Structure 1
Amino acid sequence: MSATAAWLAILATVAVLAAYEGARAWAQHRTPHCVARSAHALLREEWFDAVSQQRGSEILSVQTLRNSLMAATMTASTAALGLVGTATLTAPSLREALGGAGWLLTPRLVSELLLLALLLASLVCSAMAVRYYTHLGFISGMPVECAARPRWNPMGHVYVRRAGALYGWGLRHLILVAPVLAALLHPLAGPVTAVGVTAVLWGFDRIDEE
């Protein structure tokens, strides 16, 4: 396969993923209640408001947050393992490409760097989601009738939005690894896989109104 065709395949893969993110952002701006990301953010905020007003719901809220915390932890662990494994496997080629006086930018090198960037982004977002879920658990576990709870509720409101958004980004970055990994196996597989993955994501990201 020629270098030009490989470059075009890599650019097409990135273009498909970027076009999907742009289309989703546009749809979220136009109809936020029909896009899962914004609808779920509102759901989490209303849930926190409800448990902050309902006396005796502290244990239930902490258990719910613990489930979310474990999910974010699993995503972070998966991204960390993938990052370490990818760095180990690509270290020889990266050292060869970047170690000389003038490094050569190739389609494979770009794919490897993009793969490492996605895994690192997934790890960072998921780890930060764990951080916010942990602090939110302390806030949500305070007795509703205590004097300190109203003072911390605004921060909890912010944290529940940030934690959910970061977890979503971490999971999304982990899924977007698939087209880049396919491009590493064969450049032409990248755009095809990107179209398939974004089509599936688009179906999951939409919430049809009844």
Structure 2
Amino acid sequence: MNTISAFIQTNWRYIVDMTVFVVCVLILGGYQMRLVRRSRQSPTRTVSGMNALARTAWVERVMREDRDVMAVQTLRNSTMAATLMASTAVILILGILNMLANADKIGPALHVLNPTGSHEPGIWIFKLMLILVDFFVAFFSFSLAVRGYNHVGFLINVPKDTGNHGVTPVKVALHLNRASAYYGIGMRTYYFSVPLVLWLFGPVWMLIATVGLLMILNHLDHLPQQED
């Protein structure tokens, strides 16, 4: 018992830091799992589920009515948005790498607002590494979204009556929804970066940011129920 008490007294800041981090990960992870399950069971109750249904109907209309110009313009807008977000992620990655190179100078300045968290250089570098991984995931997600939109741009313009090519509205909609899912993952990583960045200032700020982000996401991800 004396050994445990001494360990807690010596490392209580580190314990608080990591405990808050684990709690925040469980909160956001649990919310995301609940959202995915609800989107599958009742797609009309969530924005992502409703958008997936709308994209499927849109693909069927475009391929049925040969609306090539509308399809190209819409996919071009989506590709440009994903490209912009991927480029922004690269800029943020370079900024974080610069912070890692100057960790010994920047870290002490941020500890002024960190009365409860660890001030160890190692834990501060660990926080920066998590933010770096977060934006790497964002970059690859948006890059995969661009790849998917480019593929759909060709598939959606294939005439349905030109032979046994296997390109059907259902398959094209599947490709489009997959590309949009990658775009959604990229946006989630941007949202999740807010608690991670505030974690640099201390675990209390991370917990506050997580609760605030959870409230905002709950409002953005769900559609108001309407009576028939």
Aligning the two structures, in what range does the TM-score lie when normalised by the shorter sequence?
Answer: 0.7 to 0.9
Residue 105 of structure 1, CA deviation: 9.3
| Number of the residue aligned with 1:110 | 126
| Number of the residue aligned with 2:176 | 160
CA separation of 1:149 and 1:113: change in aligned 2, threshold 3 A: farther
Q: Considering only aligned residues, what root-mean-square deviation do their CA atoms show, in Å?
A: 2.4
Q: 1:27 aligns with which of 38, 45, 49?
A: 38
| Number of the residue aligned with 2:216 | 200
Confirm or deny: 8 A CA contact 1:122 1:170 kept in the other structure. Answer: yes
* Larger relative contact order, structure 1 or 2 (CA cutoff 8 Å, min sep 6): 1
| Number of the residue aligned with 1:72 | 82
| Number of the residue aligned with 2:186 | 170
- For 2:208 and 2:160, the matched residues in 1 are separated by 56
Residue 110 of structure 1, CA deviation: 3.3
Confirm or deny: 8 A CA contact 1:125 1:170 kept in the other structure. Answer: yes
| Alignment deviations for residues 71-123 of structure 1 (CA, whole Å, 9 cap, x no partner) | 111111111111121122124559xxxxxxxxx99542332222112111111
Asked if 1:120 corresponds to 2:120, the answer is no
Residue 20 of structure 1, CA deviation: 1.7
Runs of 4+ in 1 over 3 A off after TM superposition: 91-94, 104-107, 148-151
CA separation of 1:110 and 1:31: change in aligned 2, threshold 3 A: farther
| Number of the residue aligned with 2:61 | 50
Residue 145 of structure 1, CA deviation: 6.3
- For 2:88 and 2:143, the matched residues in 1 are separated by 11
TM-score, length-scaled by structure 2:
0.78
Specify the SS of the correspondent of 2:167. Answer: helix
Confirm or deny: 8 A CA contact 2:17 2:203 kept in the other structure. Answer: yes
Q: Which has the larger radius of gyration?
A: 2
- For 1:109 and 1:161, the matched residues in 2 are separated by 37
Superposed counterparts of 1:75-154, under 5 Å: 75-91=85-101, 93=103, 106-142=122-158, 144=159, 147=162, 151-153=166-168
Q: Letter of the 1:152 partner, please give it.
A: V
Asked if 1:59 corresponds to 2:74, the answer is no
Confirm or deny: 8 A CA contact 2:40 2:49 kept in the other structure. Answer: no
- For 1:20 and 1:28, the matched residues in 2 are separated by 12
* Structure 2 unpaired stretches of 5+: 1-11, 105-119
Specify the SS of the correspondent of 1:50. Answer: helix
Residue 51 of structure 1, CA deviation: 0.4
- For 2:17 and 2:177, the matched residues in 1 are separated by 40
- For 1:110 and 1:157, the matched residues in 2 are separated by 40
Q: 2:204 aligns with which of 188, 193, 204?
A: 188
Segment drifting more, 32-41 vs 65-74: 32-41
CA separation of 1:53 and 1:66: change in aligned 2, threshold 3 A: same
Q: Letter of the 2:136 partner, please give it.
A: L
- For 2:40 and 2:15, the matched residues in 1 are separated by 37
- For 1:204 and 1:65, the matched residues in 2 are separated by 23
Report the number of matched residues.
199
CA separation of 1:91 and 1:14: change in aligned 2, threshold 3 A: farther
* Structure 1 unpaired stretches of 5+: 95-103
CA separation of 1:60 and 1:149: change in aligned 2, threshold 3 A: farther
Asked if 1:17 corresponds to 2:32, the answer is no
